[in-house]
Amino acid sequence: MFKKFIIAYDHNASKKIIDRVRETLSIHGIESIAIEDDAKDNDYPLLAIKAYEIYKEQKADGLLLLCGTGVGMNIVANKCKGIRSVLATSEAETYFSRRHEDVNTLVLATGYKDEKYEVKFCGRKMVRMINVFLETEFQGEERHSRRISEIDKIDKTGKA
């Protein structure tokens, strides 16, 4: 299954989070390369593309992207050729995205707030979702394989 992951994270991810993520991957026997966006303007599109380029160069199996909401990183990841990304908020979403869509990129929110909302991350939940992602294999049934082929065609041609 997975052997090498590229991890990209912005300033919202603490060293403690990244250490836990890398430890979780290591427990599964997965090599990881981590890249941090320490820029104050937090250009997550550039960070996600940098991670994707390293993913291709290193011939990695997966990407793990972490940022405040995760939304922007997920959008960018899904624009990259050959990437099927999920912004997971639960273990069930993580499970079914691997099982049915054979996603190779997991995006997790690390927490965010403004004057209206605040969402805090839960490190234990993150680790559980990473474990589910790594332990779940693509079901490979005809209907799921057919859908992956359709996604791949759209990825290549921009058309269904």
pLDDT number for residue 21: 95
Q: What is the mean pLDDT of the chain?
A: 92
Domains and CATH numbers, the chain: 4-157 (3.40.1400.10)
- Distance, CA of 119 to CA of 110 (rounded, Å): 9
The 10s digit of each residue's pLDDT in 37-77 is 766 666 889 999 999 999 999 999 999 999 989 999 999 99
Whether the pLDDT of residue 126 is over 80: the answer is yes
Q: Is 92 left (phi over 0), alpha (psi -120 to 50) or beta?
A: alpha
Contacts of 94 (CB under 8 A, 6+ apart): 86, 88, 106, 129, 132, 133, 136
Q: Round the CA-based radius of gyration of the chain to a whole number and report it.
A: 15
Distance CA 139, CA 113 (A): 37
Q: What is the mean pLDDT of residues 28-39?
A: 88
106-118 mean pLDDT: 92
For residue 120, pLDDT beyond 90: no
Place of tokens 């993580």: 94
